[in-house]
A = this chain, B = another copy of it.
């Protein structure tokens, strides 16, 4: 896997002479990414592409490249794989489509390239793939622009879709598109991330895997070190048919995958919002060591929504001790007792306490309470300008604090709060509670609790 992820030199076979938009030129994309390794384009019809000397065949390249990336028409792929193996190349990414994702001839060709590679001692990524991307060495074999940012997220997927990224979510520090996964499979990719200090959360997009046992072994090992968040698609009958013609994967019953994920501590998501939500929680706040939630809200209605959300996701309202309630009692107007949820608006509007005094006092008291294992703050984003240290202070307690911040036009402020890395902000309280519940579940898994 290291040759695929961190190649010092790469042969690009089938590079088109076209460049620019709609050329889908891998070399152009790679050079634009800032890759500084050695790049050898192969195209028998060109002497030079993008100012680089072009080779008629992989055999003519003056060294044995770490990685070959093949994007020739499918009819030439088998011959090219053979040449690569003969040249001694050990890592081959086949970008080309039209294999098990297509017709019977494609299936036959896919089996053939696997056989050729095995004989030659090479491994194959793909076919039908964007290949690999690594922001930490500015490498990518994608034919479309990839958002390379050195975030500690490792992505394993079966589509280029995630390589292209999601608005407002830097999705990959390192990405592996398995495509049809004819040889390199999920287990190989997981093993690469297992001991990778640059990756703290692993995201999986999976249509299916052929080797469930090996996947489970690898996933269970990796889960002990870092969370794996998985989007398994193809749940129903209709999508199973479509997958057959996407990556050529036969899917098992969805429940089988579900049970396997649970057993291995893999956190399953049902959509991309959850990738976004859970990854930010895992990267930014501590795990949750119990199910008691403290709610601090600037709006009574927000507290009610927060309770609904906690119940929905298997969490409960923490019961603050008498000592905790005593610490915060002085903030209330006479006719309101602060409890959990702590509706802080009367303390600000009627009792006229400062926002920082109110928020710091309650957050400190709740975080110190043994029955509160995490906090959700519901607030107009603008009010947090009055209590800017709230998340920094919370770090002393090693408990997660997540937020639902509302307020029209507050996008920039919310981005700024997020950028400090001390909390994650969600667009509603359901998503904050859902993320908190996963911090709880993963902690339970690590502790050996049944899920």
A residues near B, CB below 8 A? Answer: 22, 24, 74, 97-98, 101-103, 105-106, 144, 147, 157-161, 164-171, 205, 207, 233-236, 238-239, 242-243, 245-247, 270-273, 299-305, 307-309, 311-312, 316-317, 333, 335-336, 341, 343, 345-346, 349-350, 355, 380-381, 386, 405-411, 414, 427-431
22 contacts between A and B (CB under 8 A): A97-B350, A98-B335, A98-B350, A101-B300, A102-B335, A144-B380, A159-B299, A159-B302, A161-B380, A166-B407, A166-B427, A167-B406, A207-B301, A235-B311, A236-B307, A236-B308, A236-B311, A238-B311, A239-B304, A242-B304, A246-B303, A273-B430
- Whether the Cβ atoms of A301 and B408 lie closer than 8 Å is no
- Whether the Cβ atoms of B300 and A246 lie closer than 8 Å is yes
- Whether the Cβ atoms of A428 and B102 lie closer than 8 Å is no
**Whole-angstrom CA separation of A168 from B406 in the bound complex:** 10
Partner of A409, one of B74, B106, B147, B343: B147
**Whole-angstrom CA separation of A386 from B21 in the bound complex:** 10
- Whether the Cβ atoms of B302 and A427 lie closer than 8 Å is no
**Whole-angstrom CA separation of A189 from B276 in the bound complex:** 38
- Whether the Cβ atoms of B307 and A242 lie closer than 8 Å is yes
Smallest CB separation, A243 vs chain B (Å)? 5
- Whether the Cβ atoms of B428 and A272 lie closer than 8 Å is yes
- Whether the Cβ atoms of A97 and B234 lie closer than 8 Å is no
Partner of A272, one of B102, B381, B427: B427
**Whole-angstrom CA separation of A336 from B242 in the bound complex:** 12
- Whether the Cβ atoms of A301 and B407 lie closer than 8 Å is no
Given A24-B349, A103-B335, A164-B408, 7 additional A-B pairs, CB 8 A: A144-B380, A161-B302, A165-B407, A167-B427, A171-B408, A207-B304, A238-B317
- Whether the Cβ atoms of B408 and A165 lie closer than 8 Å is yes
State whether A233 and B301 are in contact (beta carbons under 8 Å apart), knowing that A164-B380, A271-B430, A380-B144 are contacts in the complex.
yes
- Whether the Cβ atoms of B300 and A159 lie closer than 8 Å is yes
- Whether the Cβ atoms of B167 and A409 lie closer than 8 Å is yes
Q: Which residues of B contact A333 (CB under 8 A)?
A: 98
- Whether the Cβ atoms of A406 and B304 lie closer than 8 Å is no
- By beta carbon, the residue of chain B nearest A428 is B272
Smallest CB separation, A268 vs chain B (Å)? 13
- Whether the Cβ atoms of B161 and A299 lie closer than 8 Å is yes
Smallest CB separation, A204 vs chain B (Å)? 12
Smallest CB separation, A207 vs chain B (Å)? 6
Q: Which residues of B contact A22 (CB under 8 A)?
A: 355, 386
- Whether the Cβ atoms of B427 and A273 lie closer than 8 Å is yes
Q: Which residues of B contact A350 (CB under 8 A)?
A: 97-98
Smallest CB separation, A426 vs chain B (Å)? 10
Partner of A239, one of B98, B168, B308, B335: B308
Smallest CB separation, A96 vs chain B (Å)? 9
- Whether the Cβ atoms of A271 and B97 lie closer than 8 Å is no
- Whether the Cβ atoms of B428 and A271 lie closer than 8 Å is yes
Q: Which residues of B contact A207 (CB under 8 A)?
A: 301, 304
